[in-house]
Amino acid sequence: MQKGNIRVQTENIFPIIKKFLYSEHDIFIRELVSNAVDATQKLKTLSSLGEAKGELDDLTIDIQLDTEKKTITISDKGVGMTGEEVDKYLNQVAFSGAEEFLKKYKGQNETNIIGHFGLGFYSAFMVSERVDVITKSYRENAQAVKWECDGSPEYTLEDAEKADRGTDIVLHINEESTEFLDAERIRTTLKKFCRFLPIPIRFEGNQINNPQPAWTKKPSELTSQDYQDFYKELYPYSEAPLFWIHLNVDYPFNLTGILYFPKIKQSYEIQKDKIQLYSNQVFVTDEVSDIVPEFLMLLHGVLDSPDIPLNVSRSYLQGDPNVKKINNHITKKVADKLEEIFTKERKEFEEKWESLGLFVKYGMMTDDKFLEKATKFHIMEDVKGGKFYTLEEYRAATEALQKNKNEQLVILYTTNPVQQDSYIQQAQAKGFVVVKLETIVDAAFINQMETKWEKVHFTRVDADIVDNLIDKADASGSVLTSDEESALAALFDRQLPELHVTVEVKGLSPEAPPVIATRPEFMRRMKDMAAMNGAMGGF
């Protein structure tokens, strides 16, 4: 038997890394600036432990563009590297100095280090024909060194002149990547990935990041204005949010973030503002499906989890066990928060129901755990306006009028208070509560809740079976003979056969319309469902 180690030929692995490691080339900015942040965070940690001497001074990371020399330079004032360290960290692909540092200082500090795989640095070669690293370690009397590599496995390492501690990474941009020799392009890329990195980052004299975004602070340190301001920073063009949830979990996974409930009218315009996913304050993606439950995809805000690696792909996310846990946690937090507002500030909750209700109803339809909690705070508005009922409150309010109350609770609703006014009036005259369920979402909601809520039936106020609940005005009020009635019914049937209406002309009071035509509940719903599928693109 033969045992051994697989040997890797660097000549072959290099092009693979360059080509396939990252699908988006602008990632190199994220990786190199993250390394600069890590180097600075390490220095801060070492300084706090007394291992790095002297003042730290200004730690700002600087990005410079030189269009003539065709270079981009990323300069930090972090730990720097000695010649030996360069050899160890840069000449060994997939050896992560970040991992090593974390292992060594575990428990001694709370630094968030971004690096992980020991591959990020090599993303520089996706856009560079040559990379120079000029670096000087924080250690006393350290000798600065310069490392040069053209992307082949050969490099040079020599002593160099550098006045200050830290590292300059000089990228000599290659022919195919000249798009990055554009200040605007760099600025947008920095804004995309580095907007909330924890160390000040400067480009062309301006700081481009907010190093302490609201989600990294404790809720007790933040006022409601701070939350509103942060929302404005994220979505300058959106209306103020209804409320927010500050997430802060550290077991069994790490998750921080702020989720905002935006103001939504009952319209389905394309949502441009999305939840953003970060990992240690580095932007990862705004495609958060899987992490965020589907019914909360319309929320806004930020999630940050170091447990979600930077190199995420959709298929990766689906298979990650933390993702499912995070998803469940978010559902629970949202339900708890809604319940809290409902209990403590019911008035406010009711005022915001138009927007809130949309989330709550989607949630109840798609997530049974949420349904269980939300049944307590889902409310329906009385058609008269201003009064809201939960399921149990509706039951209590109409109990005396429910005919088969042991078998089922009937909820009378209207989809159009104007058109259905006469029916509403009759029901109300009998003491019934008629609630408004007018939207496309309501139509789907009703169907779903009849299967999910036990023994609950929704009946539109003008449906034929309302008769079973409300005794129509007595027959003595009839103005027609029974022959006239059947003749009239036959006439309707001939004229409107496809509608399948039941015509009733009997026993109506003088204020009511002379004829009432009703359609079976199921017929109408079929039509509503068809309309909904069309309008919502199969939501």
Contacts with Mg ion by CB under 5 A lie at: 35, 115, 120
Using alpha carbons, select from 87, 79, 86, 24 the residue that is nearest to residue 46.
79
CB of 52 to ligand ADP, least distance (A): 13
Exposed, middle or buried, 141 (CB in 10 Å: 0-12/13-18/19+)? exposed
How far CA 369 is from CA of 330, 335, 364, in Å, comes to 12, 9, 8
Sequence ranges of the binding site for ATP: 31, 35, 76, 81, 96-97, 167, 314
The entry of Mg ion, ligand ADP, none that residue 167 binds, CB within 5 to 8 Å by partner kind: ligand ADP
User: What DSSP element (H or E) covers 41?
Assistant: helix 27-48
Measured N-to-C along each axis, helices 27-48 and 97-104 cross at an angle, to the nearest 10 degrees, of: 30
Measured N-to-C along each axis, helices 353-366 and 440-452 cross at an angle, to the nearest 10 degrees, of: 40
Instruction: Report the residue number, 98 or 463, with the smaller CB distance to Mg ion.
Output: 98
Compute the CA torsion angle 236, 238, 242, 245 (nearest 10 deg): -50
The entry of ligand ADP, Mg ion, none that residue 78 binds, CB within 5 to 8 Å by partner kind: ligand ADP
Instruction: Report the residue number, 37 or 434, with the smaller CB distance to ligand ADP.
Output: 37
User: How big is the CA angle at 87 (ends 90 and 149), to the nearest 5 degrees?
Assistant: 55
CB of 113 to Mg ion, least distance (A): 9
Beta-strand ranges (E) seen in 311-363 are none
Tokens for 537, please give them.
Answer: 């693109």
CB of 213 to ligand ADP, least distance (A): 22
CB of 345 to ligand ADP, least distance (A): 46
CB of 59 to ligand ADP, least distance (A): 12
Using alpha carbons, select from 385, 532, 394 the residue that is nearest to residue 459.
394
Tokens for 266, please give them.
Answer: 């009952």
CB of 185 to ligand ADP, least distance (A): 22
CB of 177 to ligand ADP, least distance (A): 19
The entry of ligand ADP, Mg ion, none that residue 89 binds, CB within 5 to 8 Å by partner kind: ligand ADP
Residue 263, classed as helix, strand or coil, is coil
CB of 61 to Mg ion, least distance (A): 14
The entry of Mg ion, ligand ADP, none that residue 254 binds, CB within 5 to 8 Å by partner kind: none
Cα 339 → chain centroid: 20
Instruction: Report the residue number, 133 or 441, with the smaller CB distance to ligand ADP.
Output: 133
Instruction: Report the residue number, 99 or 493, with the smaller CB distance to Mg ion.
Output: 99
Residue, CB closest to Mg ion: 120
Instruction: Report the residue number, 36 or 170, with the smaller CB distance to Mg ion.
Output: 36
CB of 116 to ligand ADP, least distance (A): 5
Contact predicate 439/360, CB 8 Å? no
Strands 434-436, 409-414: parallel, antiparallel or unpaired by DSSP? parallel
The binding site for ligand ADP (CB under 6 A) comprises 31, 35-36, 38-39, 76, 78-81, 89-90, 96-98, 115-121, 167
Half-sphere exposure of 41 (CA within 13 A, CB side): 22
CB of 103 to ligand ADP, least distance (A): 12
Which residues, 6 or more positions from 227, have their beta carbon under 8 angstroms from its beta carbon? 214, 244, 246, 258, 260
Using alpha carbons, select from 219, 202, 166, 204 the residue that is nearest to residue 41.
166
The entry of ligand ADP, Mg ion, none that residue 380 binds, CB within 5 to 8 Å by partner kind: none
Render the burial of 282-304: b for 16+ CB within 10 Å, e for the rest: bbbbeebebbbbebbebbbbbbb
Instruction: Report the residue number, 35 or 177, with the smaller CB distance to Mg ion.
Output: 35
Q: Report H helices in 76-223.
A: 83-89, 97-104, 183-194
Residue 359, classed as helix, strand or coil, is helix
Instruction: Report the residue number, 115 or 198, with the smaller CB distance to Mg ion.
Output: 115
Measured N-to-C along each axis, helices 183-194 and 27-48 cross at an angle, to the nearest 10 degrees, of: 50
Contact predicate 508/472, CB 8 Å? yes
Q: Which long-range contacts (CB under 8 A, 24 or more apart) does 1-8 make?
A: none
Instruction: Report the residue number, 103 or 347, with the smaller CB distance to ligand ADP.
Output: 103
Instruction: Report the residue number, 168 or 528, with the smaller CB distance to ligand ADP.
Output: 168
Tokens for 314, please give them.
Answer: 């959709």
Instruction: Report the residue number, 282 or 489, with the smaller CB distance to ligand ADP.
Output: 282
